[in-house]
Structure 1
Amino acid sequence: MESTFKVIIIGGGPIGLLAAHALYCAGIDFVLLERRQSIIEEQGASIVLYPQTFRVMHQLGILDVLLPLGTELDHHLSFTKDGKVFNESTRYRRIKENHGYGPVIFHRTELLQAIYECLPETSRSKILTGKALQNIETHDYGIAVSCADGSTFQGSMVIGADGVHSKTRHLMREIALKGNPLRDWDTEQPYKSTFRLLYGAFPASSLPGEGYDVQSSGKSVMYFSGKTRGWFFLYDKLPQPTTESNRYNEKEVESLAGEFADFPLNGTLKVKDLWPNMSATGLTDLQEGIVKHWSLGRIVLVGDSCHKFTTHLGLGFNNGVQDVVVLCNILRARVQETPNGCPDAETLAQVFQKYETTRKSPECSLTTDLENSGLETRMHTWSGTFYWLLSRYIAVWSIVEDFIFRFGISPSFQKAQVLDFIPALEIMKGKLPWRL
């Protein structure tokens, strides 16, 4: 029987690092294994944080470092591809009024660096790079993780925070089907893609705080302006939905960018104006879905490893944070209740099942957020007459927006949980109360 309880985190992205923060605050030992050679690598994507996530960041002591790095979104317009404005939404102001702060957009690399550097030095020393996951073996007494470089790590459980193409999820599936080949389990590629996404970053080209969209049949654009850089997201509907993971080359990137060249980004800029000055770009299929099985034995998944949204509402990262919160709340309580502080495999399975059940239940907004994200993507790409009418002529009415916020967006935000073992003053104060 192991003498200390230890968690092995797979993946050093933002969700993996937040899991490290939460475990440190919970007094639970951990090691984090990242396949890349460095935790901080320049990437072109942005991440939007909402007030429910700021509550958790405040608890972890990260918020005061984060906020100066981001840009609060405060102005939203919707354009047709010929540059006509057909809607000026108050969505950002409503979020701020209702929940204490508007959505804030961050450059992913800066967000990651801030989360990493806010960890105590003792915790940063437990974050190891160049550790590509190769295999997982479970035992009655614990779990062993082996990496491609030949190193092995022993622990009590594994948290797979290694993203949409999760190696942890892949190995978990192998273990499940090896035990019973007829067992009902997720497919090798559990997510479906209906759209592909070309994203990019570039030097700031307009006033900060703009969060605009451009809509057309089969294609749409999201444009965000920050303090020092801007980002666009170009959405292209695939000919057919697919579960395959396509890889795109530079020629395909240039070709798709050309199709969007004359699309506006705001009142003065078009895609072709910024394309020569891009600092980073990427083209990927846009997966959607929720995995059926989030755990097996001593292994559990969080973030994109177990659910993936389209990016129109920016809710993916925020839901990954909620995964960490719910899991760590339940796990810490069980560790403290166990006489030797080391829950056995059966107890961990119960913890993981409670975590998954909670996250998939009406207590949380996961399933609603998935549906709303997909709905917005289909509305903006006018994916059929219904979506075109809804986006172009119905959702533009203020009474409709009132209804959406009152019965959809705001209740979903209010459901968000915080870490129950870190007392903190509530700093996100708006018109609406938090439920927890």
Structure 2
Amino acid sequence: MSDNEFKVIVVGGGPVGLIAAHALSRAGIDYVVLENYDSVATDVGASIALWPQALRVMGRLGLLPRLESIGTRMDRGVYMTQPGHIFKESHAMRNDIGRNHGTSTHAYHRADLLKALYDSLPEPNPAARILMNKQVTQITTTDDRVEAHCADGTIYTGSIIIGADGVHSMVRKTMRTLALQSSPTTNPNKINNEHPFLAEYRCMWCSFPRQPDDPDMLAGDFIEAHGTDMALQCLSGDDRSWLFIYERLAKPTRDRATYSQADVEALAARAGEHAVSERRKVKDVFPTRHAAGMANLEEGVLPHWSWKRLVLVGDACHKQTPNTGLGFNNGMQDVVALVNELHSAVKEQTGGGGSSSGGLDLDVLGGVFARYQDLRRKPLKKDLKFAAKVARMSTWRTWAAWLQDRYIFPSIPGWDPFMIDHVLAKAISGSLVFDFVEAEEPFQGRVPWKHAIPSPGGKKVEV
């Protein structure tokens, strides 16, 4: 890498890392993605939800036609007790969110979405940009560059590193180590904790075949069974369903947990009699699973997202329970905010040319990273609080949560549309879009989008 070239190293080739690749490519910024595993599309059995704000970003990247063929629009919500007694049914997810924003939440098989993101990269040779089997073991920094050292002996040099490597981020740990090494007397409050996230729940997930003639599990259904200290969600696509079982831990922990398939099967057995539909239980569907896994559900937002030439996105710097399906959506918003700032800084450095030539010094990068974190911190905290409340209400964490979830909210006429119109609509419509990618507005509803988009004619279109 020459002294005047700006290049980004993205550590992590998951969904957020691949969105970063798309964004950097569109911004004309040189990059490489280092992925630990041998494939970006390994099937772990999970799903990913895309809310309207995420689909709008996908539209900016020209990905909507590809996504239409692999996703399912969520429609009917069914809420029941663990034995299967239905206490609420709602179509607000499709009807009210759709009316407000021109589209509603869609579910995707995680492996299918990752493959679509990889295959649609605007690169002549994606394999030259997304490198597999690259376990980053060490990161070194100087005033003008960074180096990522991999287990296979290769070294990659860049201007910055974006840590998109998940909740157990190696980049985040390295940031802390380097910060302490550079100034051992630094106030601990100015450095992230070694174990920054707290877990109160764990989650087992799997996917299984959906029978087309099953009237209880129609494509687009999302079913929840609530109870004390345990709840489940079951989302149905066209040819498969995804099951998530949430269980409260015996005590909160900051330690990393590793679960075996025996642990997965034990949790499924504990929930075996819990309903996944009006006539089917966990014990009926779990034996037909395609793939399954389990992990603790960490929660929290880091106070510091960057250090010198290292910056974090997605689960590496904030983590929430997945009940609301907003995790990847927030990681995508991180990428939008960060790459918007990087594109602007590189463009200014090069006199408006917009190419990736031209280095950015630490002062400029400090401003870029600070603005990025400021843009994202407030909406993230709101989403984390929302997800935390949903998780605790569905597991009847307190008697008040049980009363609200089981009786009060279901008995209020129009409660779901009210919450969608007066709480969710503001958060969705205020989401960010790439300010350097021209495209037509794909979605328009009764709630206007806050941020303008550049139209192909060169004007920003307010919708």
**TM-score range relative to shorter protein:** over 0.9
Is 1:150 aligned to 2:150, yes or no? no
Identity of aligned residues (%): 39
CA offsets, 1:165-224, max 9 Å, x none? 111101111101112234322222211101010111111133211111100011101010
Q: How does 1:360-399 map to 2 (within 5 A)?
A: 360-361=377-378, 365-396=379-410, 397-399=412-414
Tell me how far 1:89 sits from its aligned partner. Answer: 2.3
Could you say if the C-alpha distance between residues 431 and 141 of structure 1 is closer, same or farther in structure 2, counting changes exceeding 3 Å? same
Greater mean alpha carbon deviation, residues 313-322 or residues 396-405:
396-405
CA RMSD of aligned residues (A): 1.3
1:204 counterpart residue number: 210
8 A Cα contact 2:118 2:126, kept in partner: no
Alignment partners' CA distance in 1, 2:56 and 2:276: 32
1:160 counterpart residue number: 163
Alignment partners' CA distance in 2, 1:97 and 1:211: 19
1:269 counterpart residue number: 280
- Structure 1 regions of 5+ residues with no counterpart? none
Alignment partners' CA distance in 1, 2:449 and 2:232: 32
2:454 counterpart residue number: none
8 A Cα contact 2:96 2:417, kept in partner: no
Alignment partners' CA distance in 1, 2:60 and 2:334: 16
Alignment partners' CA distance in 2, 1:395 and 1:89: 12
8 A Cα contact 1:32 1:126, kept in partner: yes
The residue type equivalent to 1:176 in the other structure is A
Is 1:70 aligned to 2:71, yes or no? yes
Alignment partners' CA distance in 1, 2:234 and 2:39: 29
1:139 to 120, 135, 142: 142
Is 1:417 aligned to 2:432, yes or no? yes
Alignment partners' CA distance in 2, 1:240 and 1:327: 36
Tell me how far 1:88 sits from its aligned partner. Answer: 1.2
Alignment partners' CA distance in 2, 1:337 and 1:50: 33
1:17 counterpart residue number: 18
Tell me how far 1:8 sits from its aligned partner. Answer: 0.4
Alignment partners' CA distance in 2, 1:26 and 1:178: 34
Alignment partners' CA distance in 2, 1:118 and 1:346: 35
Q: How does 1:197-236 map to 2 (within 5 A)?
A: 197-205=203-211, 206-236=217-247
Q: What is the TM-score of this pair, normalised by structure 1?
A: 0.97
Tell me how far 1:390 sits from its aligned partner. Answer: 1.6
The residue type equivalent to 2:162 in the other structure is I
8 A Cα contact 1:193 1:286, kept in partner: yes
Runs of at least 4 residues off by over 4 Å: none
The residue type equivalent to 1:372 in the other structure is F
1:310 counterpart residue number: 321
CA offsets, 1:237-267, max 9 Å, x none? 1111111111122332222111110111111
The residue type equivalent to 1:195 in the other structure is Y
Q: Equivalent residue of 2:324, what SS?
A: coil
2:307 counterpart residue number: 296
Greater mean alpha carbon deviation, residues 249-258 or residues 277-286:
249-258
2:354 counterpart residue number: none
Tell me how far 1:423 sits from its aligned partner. Answer: 1.4
Tell me how far 1:3 sits from its aligned partner. Answer: 2.3
The residue type equivalent to 2:117 in the other structure is I
Aligned residues: 433
Tell me how far 1:94 sits from its aligned partner. Answer: 1.4
Q: Equivalent residue of 2:108, what SS?
A: strand
1:43 counterpart residue number: 44
Is 1:346 aligned to 2:359, yes or no? no
Greater mean alpha carbon deviation, residues 387-396 or residues 15-24:
387-396
Greater mean alpha carbon deviation, residues 124-133 or residues 104-113:
124-133
2:9 counterpart residue number: 8
Tell me how far 1:123 sits from its aligned partner. Answer: 4.4
Alignment partners' CA distance in 1, 2:237 and 2:286: 17
2:110 counterpart residue number: 108
1:117 counterpart residue number: 119
8 A Cα contact 1:394 1:400, kept in partner: no
1:53 counterpart residue number: 54
2:182 counterpart residue number: 179
Q: Equivalent residue of 2:177, what SS?
A: helix
8 A Cα contact 1:24 1:123, kept in partner: no
The residue type equivalent to 1:377 in the other structure is A
Alignment partners' CA distance in 2, 1:355 and 1:27: 19
Q: Equivalent residue of 1:43, what SS?
A: coil
Alignment partners' CA distance in 2, 1:14 and 1:311: 15
Q: Equivalent residue of 1:395, what SS?
A: helix
The residue type equivalent to 1:404 in the other structure is M
- Structure 2 regions of 5+ residues with no counterpart? 212-216, 351-356, 452-463
Is 1:190 aligned to 2:196, yes or no? yes
